[in-house]
Structure 1
Amino acid sequence: MVITRNGLVLGATAVTLSTIAVTSLGIHSQGQALFKESPKELVDEVWQIINKQYVDGTFNQVDWKAVRSEYLNKSYTNKEEAYKSIREMLKKLDDPYTRFMDPEEFKNMQVDTSGELTGIGIQIGLDEKTKKLTVIAPIEDTPAFKAGILAKDTIIYINGKSTEGMDTNEAVSLIRGEPGTKVNLTILREGQRKEFTITRARIEIHPVEFSEKQTPAGNIGYIRLKQFSANAAKEMRDAIRNLESKQVAGYVLDLRNNPGGLLYSSVEIARMWMDRGTIVSTIDRRGEAEREMANGRALTNKPLVVLVDKGSASASEILSGALQDNKRAVVVGSQTFGKGLVQSVRPLDDGSGLAVTIAKYHTPLGRDINKHGIDPNIVVDLSDKQRQDLWIKEREKVATQADPQFAKAVEVLGKEIAAKGTNAQRN
């Protein structure tokens, strides 16, 4: 997500199960005081926003004007009745990412990824095909990650309550809580039910880790990007500069289990690797595209391999897609999550909030990766058991030759380094 000049929040992510202060954004500035006396005004405000901004001008084949008549002809005696009607109204769009949040839900959603989080550390959404509550990815080194929750897990019960028909707001309210308290999740993974009891905690996220590695490909730089948070670009810049000073021969950029974050953080980071070319295009309901371009200020042109898996989502897919389409990097690993939609999250007059799908994004070559993801140039799939063993039980093997995806990345990087050296000699 990213806060734009007009105060909206644009994002390529789903809901993060954590809470964070939002007062610095001014979201609650005068919202409570400005709320109109009639709850019907709030219903119409939501309708108008959807009418003007929703990505599909047919409203997913819904007669949106008829919807307005239906819900404005109702009488409302309190806000709760208005909230119920708004949720019914939005449900007609059949879009899991367009959702209403009451003031408490809005207050607790993650609108800024800088700072300390409180929760279990997963991002969730409704699967667009199955409409089931699905884990997009656990955030590395959080309680959910350490417990063994994996990307694509389907959450079927929360504290014994079925999630059938449950929206993400209700799921968030059930899962979040005070640090030290526990939540029970029942998940479905490859047809098998699994039970998890997870203790909530305060979570501090350091988005970038890097190191110099001696490998069969030579002295290389390894950079792990865990999340596209507000300070990810600065930390990435520092990492590249540090490794450049050590004269590494090439890089492995690890985006595995990275659920996304700030849309424009991915653009900034792409510019550190690319001197020229398109990074991403966002397409609105009129088909108009806004293009983000490289700006000729790359920090390195050395060979690059990017690692991805099914936990790489949204902003991770923007970055890996840009580097792949521009032939700046070879992408190695598993097919990514597949979330190519952009939401605008905006405050409403009574302190509640509305998330609206306003655009979709395409890679530089025009690929719409929504529901499909990025296909690696070189596929190295791991089973769920292999992933869990690697990331949870045997973490010391991550980014070593005992890590099959990393080992393949090093092999590929070695060939890229050799090819570049040969070309340089010819020139």
Structure 2
Amino acid sequence: MEINRKKLIFIWVAVVLILLVGSNIFTYFAAGYLTGSNDEGQTKVIKFEPAKNGYDEDTEILFETMDAITNNYYTPVDQDILIEGAVHGMIESLEDPQVQYYDSEALNTFLLDTRGSYGGIGVRIIEVGDDVVVFETFANTPAERQGLTPGDQIIEADGLDLSGKGIDFVVELLRGPANTSVDIVIKRPGADEPIALTVDREEIRVTSVFSEMLEEGLGYIKINSFDSHTAEEFTSQFKAIEQSGLSKGLILDVRDNPGGLVDQAVEIAKLLVPEGEIVRLVGRNEDVKTIYYSSAVKKPYPIVVLINEESASSAELLAGALQDRGAALLVGKTTFGKASVQQLVYLSDDQAILLTMARYFTPSGRDIHKHGIEPDFEVDMPEILRYYRYFLPGQLERGHYGPDVEMLQMMLEQTGYTIDVTGYFDEQTTRVLTDFQTAAGIKRSGVFDDQTWIQLREALDIAARKQDDQLNFALDLILKPGLWNITEGND
């Protein structure tokens, strides 16, 4: 059964990543970006300039091919399409998935995403079939104030039917200048009729850092990504919990952090990594482009960093520096293994290429690209607790079968119910689901519907925290007296 479950999770992860790429949730997935700031903090722009002596004669084949197609193909061909196709072909020939071409519209979206703020209502949405569903609402935003919740299906925006229109179309309608509004109609789980709302737009700043005191003297900081505000947010929250007292230690969580802006990770590292090297960027011909250093004093308390298979790029940079410099112990699973660094090269007509300019090496000289960073203590995490939030199968009932039913059974099992994971929605599944609905205080139908999805997600939110084996291991580890010696600290 374990082999089947892993196969099922693999299939679901593939589906999830497709959903997330389309929904911009993993905007920075497996990518590290240089902002190109100079010493004054101003952004440097790489502009493309043709070589003075032109290109090699071999490049004439490009223009000959374009002329041959333009003049002789049996139907007229737009030359712009041929040129864009040639650009994509050159990029694909590099076999580097991080290199991307952006037309003016895509470039604008990319820059909005890396900025960490935008004009909108404050939701993350995903595409489920032909429908667009609210995945998350941000705190203190118009969406939250209007009561939008995960699971709400947005069916209209400004009078336009959104069914089958795609997530990019919906994003364009929801985003807009601050101090404007958008009229939407939602279908809410459990509601008999659609709900019409007018939601104001404002400047939305996506929070990438969360912190709390787990107990007196023990702090916890979660970094979700590295956008242009992350270092500022981290510095503020880190100083606040450090002033509260970190006599027991600090847990830094970069699990499921896809990376982002390199300079943001470096600024955070300057607060935590003891005096010395943080990371070095190496370019063509192994030339060292930049070495970043820290001047910080070693912390007088232990630090544990949580990592997993989706910790990538800038998250790996930070974790690797802390591990190599003996400043922290790493707990979890081997990281993604992405140590290349990209920078935007601007082309004509507001177009650009995100081009790999360097690789980074940890302070000890490790090349982690395609290898990842191994934790000091390997600890598994139940896969279902990592991906349950992306489970949006629609209605399931007795007689149904397949991966969706199997996932539902695994989720019920994870919340403490005894159930056979078979992939068939049988009498036992109906009975267990009815028991769950009874305990949740909702209609006892034995059918997995929208209301049941909300309650099961909330139950798994609680289970995910209680059954977080990696966090629990870190808690046990950090409270062991011997940790001070392991991390070369004080007795």
Fold similarity call, TM over 0.5: yes
Equivalent position SS for 1:261:
strand
8 A contact 2:34–2:343 mirrored in 1: no
Inter-partner Cα distance in structure 2 for 1:237 and 1:266: 11
After superposition, residues 170-209 of structure 1 pair within 5 angstroms as 177-179=172-174, 204-209=205-210
Q: Which residue of 2 aligns with 1:403?
A: 468
Q: CA deviation at 1:418?
A: 5.8
Inter-partner Cα distance in structure 1 for 2:58 and 2:481: 57
For the pair 1:94 / 2:92, whether they are aligned, the reply is no
After superposition, residues 374-393 of structure 1 pair within 5 angstroms as 374-389=373-388, 393=458
Tell me the number of residue pairs that the alignment of Structure 1 and Structure 2 aligns: 322
Per-residue deviation, residues 395-421 of structure 1 (Å, max 9, x unmatched): 3455x5532110001111112676359
Q: CA deviation at 1:101?
A: 2.0
8 A contact 1:258–1:316 mirrored in 2: yes
The TM-score, its normalising length taken from structure 2, stands at 0.56
Q: CA deviation at 1:80?
A: 3.1
After superposition, residues 250-289 of structure 1 pair within 5 angstroms as 250-289=249-288
Inter-partner Cα distance in structure 2 for 1:364 and 1:395: 37
Q: Which residue of 1 aligns with 2:85?
A: 84
Inter-partner Cα distance in structure 2 for 1:324 and 1:422: 9
Q: Which residue of 2 aligns with 1:237?
A: 235
Q: CA deviation at 1:348?
A: 1.0
Equivalent position SS for 1:350:
coil
For the pair 1:116 / 2:118, whether they are aligned, the reply is yes
Q: 1:68 aligns with which of 40, 43, 59?
A: 59
Q: CA deviation at 1:244?
A: 1.8
8 A contact 2:277–2:294 mirrored in 1: no
Q: CA deviation at 1:46?
A: 8.9
Cα distance 1:357–1:423, how it changes in 2: closer, same or farther (>3 A)?
A: closer
For the pair 1:310 / 2:309, whether they are aligned, the reply is yes
Cα distance 1:349–1:294, how it changes in 2: closer, same or farther (>3 A)?
A: same
Question: What letter is aligned with 2:36?
Answer: T
Equivalent position SS for 2:87:
helix
Inter-partner Cα distance in structure 1 for 2:363 and 2:462: 36
Question: What letter is aligned with 2:59?
Answer: R
Q: Which residue of 1 aligns with 2:318?
A: 319
For the pair 1:213 / 2:219, whether they are aligned, the reply is no
Q: When you count helix as a share of all residues, which structure comes out higher?
A: 2
Per-residue deviation, residues 195-215 of structure 1 (Å, max 9, x unmatched): xxxxxx99742111111122x
Inter-partner Cα distance in structure 2 for 1:340 and 1:181: 44
Q: CA deviation at 1:374?
A: 1.4
Per-residue deviation, residues 84-106 of structure 1 (Å, max 9, x unmatched): 22222322222222232222222
Q: Which residue of 2 aligns with 1:336?
A: 335
Query: Which is worse superposed, 253-262 or 289-298?
Result: 289-298
Cα distance 1:315–1:246, how it changes in 2: closer, same or farther (>3 A)?
A: same
Inter-partner Cα distance in structure 1 for 2:37 and 2:239: 30
Q: CA deviation at 1:325?
A: 1.0
Q: Which residue of 2 aligns with 1:166?
A: none
Equivalent position SS for 2:111:
coil
- Unaligned 5+ residue runs, structure 2? 1-32, 71-77, 127-134, 144-149, 152-162, 175-183, 187-200, 391-456
Q: CA deviation at 1:299?
A: 8.1
Inter-partner Cα distance in structure 2 for 1:298 and 1:362: 22
Flag the structure with more relative contact order, 1 or 2, with Cα contacts below 8 A and sequence separation at least 6: 1
Cα distance 1:346–1:84, how it changes in 2: closer, same or farther (>3 A)?
A: same
Q: Which residue of 2 aligns with 1:126?
A: none
Question: What letter is aligned with 1:419?
Answer: W
Q: Which residue of 2 aligns with 1:412?
A: 477
8 A contact 1:67–1:89 mirrored in 2: no
Cα distance 1:356–1:256, how it changes in 2: closer, same or farther (>3 A)?
A: same
Cα distance 1:104–1:287, how it changes in 2: closer, same or farther (>3 A)?
A: same
Per-residue deviation, residues 55-87 of structure 1 (Å, max 9, x unmatched): xxxxxxxxx957633224443774333222222
8 A contact 1:267–1:292 mirrored in 2: no
Q: CA deviation at 1:358?
A: 1.5
Q: Which residue of 2 aligns with 1:132?
A: none
Per-residue deviation, residues 186-242 of structure 1 (Å, max 9, x unmatched): xxxxxxxxxxxxxxx99742111111122xxx6301111111122211221122221
Inter-partner Cα distance in structure 2 for 1:122 and 1:222: 28
The TM-score, its normalising length taken from structure 1, stands at 0.63
- Unaligned 5+ residue runs, structure 1? 8-23, 32-44, 50-63, 124-138, 148-158, 162-170, 183-200
Cα distance 1:416–1:246, how it changes in 2: closer, same or farther (>3 A)?
A: same
8 A contact 2:302–2:489 mirrored in 1: no
Cα distance 1:26–1:313, how it changes in 2: closer, same or farther (>3 A)?
A: closer
8 A contact 1:279–1:322 mirrored in 2: yes
Equivalent position SS for 2:106:
helix
Inter-partner Cα distance in structure 2 for 1:92 and 1:47: 21
Question: What letter is aligned with 1:412?
Answer: L
Equivalent position SS for 1:406:
helix
Q: Which residue of 2 aligns with 1:361?
A: 360
For the pair 1:4 / 2:36, whether they are aligned, the reply is yes
Q: CA deviation at 1:298?
A: 4.6
Cα distance 1:365–1:402, how it changes in 2: closer, same or farther (>3 A)?
A: same
Inter-partner Cα distance in structure 1 for 2:213 and 2:220: 6
Inter-partner Cα distance in structure 1 for 2:37 and 2:274: 26
Q: CA deviation at 1:114?
A: 2.5
Q: When you count strand as a share of all residues, which structure comes out higher?
A: 1
Q: Which residue of 2 aligns with 1:346?
A: 345
Q: CA deviation at 1:260?
A: 1.1
Inter-partner Cα distance in structure 2 for 1:172 and 1:94: 28
Question: What letter is aligned with 1:4?
Answer: G
8 A contact 1:274–1:301 mirrored in 2: no
Inter-partner Cα distance in structure 1 for 2:136 and 2:300: 29
Equivalent position SS for 1:109:
helix
